[in-house]
Amino acid sequence: MLTVSMTVNGKQVSKEVEPRTLLVQFLREHLSLTGTHVGCDTSQCGACVVHVDGTSVKSCTMLAAQADGATVTTIEGLAQDGELHPMQAAFKEHHGLQCGFCTPGMVMSAVDLLKHNPDPSDREIREWLQGNICRCTGYHNIVKAIQAAAQSMRG
Amino acid sequence: MADSGIGSRTTRREDKRFLTGKGRYTDDINRHGQAYAYFLRAPVAHARVTGIDTSAAETAPGVVAVFTGKDMEADGVGSLPCGWVVTDKHGQPHKAPPHFPLVRDAVRYVGDHVAMVIAESAAEAKDAAELIQVDYEELPAVVDPMQARSSQQIHEAAPENLCYDWELGDKAAADAAFAKAAHVTKLDLINNRLVPNAMEPRAAIGEWDSGTDEYTIYSTSQNPHLLRLILCAFVLGLPESRVRVIAPDVGGGFGSKIFAYAEETACTWASKKIGGRPVKWTAERGEAFLSDCHGRDHVTHCELALDADGRFLGMKVDTTANMGAYLSSFATSVPSYLYATLLAGQYTTPVVYANVKAVFTNTAPVDAYRGAGRPEATYVVERLVEIAARETGRDPAELRRLNFIKPDQFPYQTPVALMYDIGDYEPSLDKALSMIDYKGFGARKAASEARGKLRGIGLSAYIEACGIAPSAVVGSLGAGVGLWESATVRFNATGTVAVMTGAHSHGQGHETTFAQLVSEKLGIPYENVEIVHGDTGRIPMGMGTYGSRSLAVGGSAIVKACDKIIAKGKKIAAHLMEASEGDVEFANGQFTVAGTDKSKAMAEIAFTAYVPHNYPEGVEPGLDETAFYDPLNFTYPSGVHIAEVEIDPDTGITTIADWVAVDDFGNVINPMIVEGQVHGGIAQGVGQALLEHTVYDRDSGQLLTGSYMDYAMPRADNFPTFRVETTTSACTHNPLGVKGCGEAGAIASPAALMNAITDALGVEIDMPATPEKVWRAAQAKLRVAAE
């Protein structure tokens, strides 16, 4: 067992974990932050995307120990003071989700895209999302939502 | 009601919890004292099991118990049943070999369930499973349905590995029609095997309460009551009243979560065996590939006969359908009654004959997957029609138009059992042709060719039978269940309403659509309507969500329950307003007396029903009505999809340049949600046509496409922006005039895309049109052109 400490959604946390504990297991099982999902075993689907020190990361592909000392934001930490983040609001407004399972990873990934590229083309959005699989929406409304969020965040 | 009534693009109320990480899926639930299950799965495709030694695993760290099929047998656990008995062409029932949750004497596909380990943690259960010693006496395996009948027999009950040899239609009449034909188009098709791949892997928690002898099952199910029925009546022999199934938020299903599987059965049974600790299991994606029911997997030869004018004279279809190693819950209905009955398509083809042989192989069970039989039928019909047009030098759109059933021919009795109640196919065709600028295709093709690219266009005019299903009809065809739906509309004393529906959303947005419906029907604020589903402890017995049935059947049950509420409300209102019941009218949430200014609001009536101080004699207190709705017919959504592709002959990469869809779903409650369903359906069909392919090794029976590294899931950059429109011919036999929209995209799109790709290439290829296949075909075309 080893002790892992990090800041998650603004709160300092410290837990004893097995060394093989993945970051996603740490979030889901040790912190009960079940918004981050596991959809595959091979780092393909992106349902587990969170931000580690401000960058999108597949939390199934990182050990909790590797995030020791880091600042982590999960989907639960995105809305501020009960107000949806513009990306969350845009997904709702444009029906960018159906079953909701891939959605947390999609949203976290999309937020990171806009940090890198505040005015992406449809093609750039679609290419960025190669690491996020959605089986419900055909991606059509996800792309629309990200465009709308980009526009509202540019102001 | 303008912003939330019928027809409005109301945003979804379920979204907030999904967008903030507060969705509650089965794996998000943890029960006090729970243990974790891991299933040891067969590493070989076909073998006798001559011994299982679990002793080392039983003493491994953290292990609570290890169970095998012998333990279940000793406890009298039954076989997972197939709920639809197909009668073959000789009048005999299909062969239904036993399907035990944990194997007893043999394993029959890679992933079959050999033993169950329960431990304090999932990791300990998995580690301990590696210590189980199993003696396998390997047998030859078969994975190709066309080889099944001449291969090693898989079940004692099924000689030649034949489940059934079934037919529909008049063979002699078909032969006679073909004898008169001016032209016959012949085609061999493979409908490739798919893995449904809902993004949420299956999961279950089984929990037995030693105090009450009651069970609670949390499960990723599309139909909690159906799961309860199957487990109680057939497998575990429990009284339904002691079993509660809760399907919380479900992360996609596409059919794969209809069925009763080994894992939830075993977790439920095992919880009692270990004294009542909850037993939790969550599939890894690799397990999902191995053991979720797969879809499609047909091999078909088909022929279409035309007269000299291009009119269809007859169709003959010969299909071999892969059932996998065991019959899943509704497997047998998919390549029979959900397939051959759709072979008339949108056309007046007077004679259709279909012969379907369903076979067992050493592969995962195959069952309903988005569309279930209807995509396979559409693929046959729409590929045949397209090729017939090419062969006879006709415009594919005009050949379709010539053969369409005309509006004045409805109700239309097809030669394959179904009676289409209504349809109007030309408006969808015309709209789609106009949207894609069909006339301008030649110029676009020339522009592509000038850039060294190949361009193709393809149509698909599909029909489906949805709103599953009239119980008496499906019963006469072998279904073991009724396919009605239920609803309870329960007013609270304060005027808010809870609606308990047997349908269960796994992404379709029922909480929004059904609330829109009830709000409009009862004239109460949308915010005051709560939708309750997915819990057998809270809803009346219901049949769940599949077959695009939730609004057409479940919504109709809600309407019926609302009608009962209004009828009772009129009695109460008549008493309060001192009018005769016959003079009371209801509209926009108000009970009024004709010809007066007297009026009572719905909320006031509800309050009076629960505080009946001044109340009509002989009327029961309360405002709480349940209705069951059994549809009179299937519904028949239809439409036209057109795909346009550009192919790079140097790389074999197909780019979808444009996609238009014009669908007739009848009346629409929420267009935003309907469009989303179409987008997703198209994407799944495009996945089948372009990318997805389930491959088992022909010799070893190993699944070669067992992860997202090997199985090509469609990604965002595989698609264009879809252009989706609707036309409307309202369903004639349900109170909402709705038809269903969940499966249309997946039904229409494979044929449209393959018609476009083969139009560009000039030769036939099978799905999926991978770059390699397309490149070979494109290079061959260029060589021919050069010569």
Q: Is the predicted pLDDT of residue B2 greater than 60, yes or no? A: no
Rounded average pLDDT over A5-31: 97
B chain contacts of residue A143, beta-carbon cutoff 8 Å? 716, 721
The pTM of this model reads: 0.97
Digit-coded pLDDT (tens) for B161-184:
999 999 999 999 999 999 999 999
Q: Is the predicted pLDDT of residue B1 greater than 60, yes or no? A: no
Q: Is the predicted pLDDT of residue B638 greater than 60, yes or no? A: yes
The question of ipTM being above 0.85 is answered as: yes
What CATH number is given for B31-84+98-139+200-251+257-291 in this structure?
3.90.1170.50
Nearest 10 degrees: CA dihedral of B746, B747, B752, B757? 60
Q: Where are the domains of chain A?
A: 2-77, 86-154
Q: How many CB atoms lie within 10 A of CB B143?
A: 29
CB contact under 8 A, B673 and A125: no
Determine the distance in angstroms separating the CA of B599 from the nearest CA of chain A, rounded to an integer: 37
B chain contacts of residue A127, beta-carbon cutoff 8 Å? 716-717
Rounded average pLDDT over B22-40: 98
Q: Is the predicted pLDDT of residue A49 greater than 80, yes or no? A: yes
User: In this predicted structure, what is the pLDDT of residue B786?
Assistant: 84
Question: Measured between alpha carbons, how far is B751 from B759 in angstroms, rounded to an integer?
Answer: 12
Nearest 10 degrees: CA dihedral of A145, A150, A155, B3? 0
Digit-coded pLDDT (tens) for B555-585:
999 999 999 999 999 999 999 999 999 999 9
Question: Measured between alpha carbons, how far is B762 from B426 in angstroms, rounded to an integer?
Answer: 27
As given in the structure block, the two tokens for residue B349 are 């083809």
Determine the distance in angstroms separating the CA of A123 from the nearest CA of chain B, rounded to an integer: 7
In words, the CATH class of domain B484-629 is alpha beta
CB contact under 8 A, A140 and B719: yes
Phi, psi of B270 (to 5 degrees): -70, -30
Question: Measured between alpha carbons, how far is B678 from B691 in angstroms, rounded to an integer?
Answer: 19
Digit-coded pLDDT (tens) for A82-116:
999 999 999 999 999 999 999 999 999 999 999 99
In CATH terms, the fold of domain B393-467+633-786 is Aldehyde Oxidoreductase; domain 4 (3.30.365)
Digit-coded pLDDT (tens) for A111-154:
999 999 999 999 999 999 999 999 999 999 999 999 999 999 99
Question: Is the peptide bond preceding residue B720 cis, with omega within 30 degrees of 0?
Answer: no
Instruction: Assess whether the region B31-84+98-139+200-251+257-291 and the region B393-467+633-786 belong to the same CATH fold.
Output: no
Question: Measured between alpha carbons, how far is B33 from B24 in angstroms, rounded to an integer?
Answer: 19
Chain B residue with CA closest to A99: the answer is: B507
**Chosen from B10, B19, B505 to mutate, greatest number of chain A CBs within 10 A:** B19
CB contact under 8 A, B19 and A129: no
Digit-coded pLDDT (tens) for B401-448:
999 999 999 999 999 999 999 999 999 999 999 999 999 999 999 999
Greatest CA separation found in chain A? Answer: 48
Q: Is the predicted pLDDT of residue B257 greater than 70, yes or no? A: yes
CB contact under 8 A, B123 and A138: no
Is 3.40.640.10 the CATH number for A2-77? no
User: In this predicted structure, what is the pLDDT of residue B783?
Assistant: 87
As given in the structure block, the two tokens for residue B142 are 């078969």
CB contact under 8 A, A137 and B679: yes
CB contact under 8 A, B709 and A42: yes
Question: Measured between alpha carbons, how far is B86 from B165 in angstroms, rounded to an integer?
Answer: 9
As given in the structure block, the two tokens for residue B369 are 């997957």
Q: Return the bridge partners of B723, or none.
A: B660
Q: Could you tell me which residues come within 8 angstroms of residue B63 by beta carbon, excluding any fewer than 6 positions away?
A: B57, B117, B118, B119, B120, B124, B125, B128
CA atoms within 13 A on the CB side of B674: 25
As given in the structure block, the two tokens for residue B724 are 């989706």
Split at pLDDT 50, 70, 90, the class of B669 is: very high
Enclosing H/E stretch for A92: helix A86-93
Rounded average pLDDT over B667-684: 98
Q: Where are the domains of chain B?
A: 31-84+98-139+200-251+257-291, 393-467+633-786, 484-629
Question: Measured between alpha carbons, how far is B484 from A35 in angstroms, rounded to an integer?
Answer: 35
As given in the structure block, the two tokens for residue B692 are 């997805």
In CATH terms, the fold of domain A86-154 is DNA polymerase; domain 1 (1.10.150)
DSSP-based three-state secondary structure for B93: strand
CB contact under 8 A, A100 and B201: no
Q: Which of A84, A91, A101 sits opposite B199 (nearest CB)?
A: A101
Question: Measured between alpha carbons, how far is B615 from A86 in angstroms, rounded to an integer?
Answer: 52
Chain A residue with CA closest to B720: the answer is: A140
CA geometry: angle B613, B618, B622, nearest 5 deg: 55
Residue B709 has what DSSP assignment? Answer: T
